[in-house]
Amino acid sequence: MTKSLNKLDGLPPIQVTALIYIVLQHEDLIKRNGKVTTEDVTKKLKITHKETMKMIDTFRGHGLVRLDQRMSAGPSGHGYDGALFGALVPSSHCIRIVRNYLKLP
């Protein structure tokens, strides 16, 4: 694992946006037993899933997020559709640096 980041300054803007999105969505969805997925990030940033996964791998290397599980609900919400998306869980460290960056309590 590479050295953990202590702040978001210096990261490419798309990575800052991704981390902010992951943390804020996680905090909102956790109340409803939901999870932020790699698909959510892909759609939000309007990039390919491959590009998203490359970014997530970087975040994982810094200990900022965990790829919690693989999910596939299929088009009907049930069954396998061939698409696997990981559930993302930000670390407490990631939540802290994003909240500091946004100047949130």
Strand partners, 37: 87
What rounded mean pLDDT belongs to the chain?
84
pLDDT in tens, 70-93: 655 555 555 444 456 788 999 999
Q: Which two tokens stand for residue 43?
A: 């759609």
**Tokens linked to 12:** 């490419």
Please give the domain boundaries of the chain with CATH numbers for all domains: 13-101 (1.10.10.10)
**Length of the chain, in residues:** 105
The pLDDT, as a whole number, for residue 16 is 95
* Banded pLDDT at 47 (limits 50, 70, 90): very high
Q: Does residue 52 sit in helix, strand or coil?
A: helix
Given a cut of 90, whether residue 5 has pLDDT beyond it is no
Q: Which of the four pLDDT bands, split at 50, 70 and 90, describes residue 25? A: very high
Structure tokens at 86: 């990981």
Given this model, what pLDDT does residue 1 score? 42
3-state DSSP call for residue 69?
strand
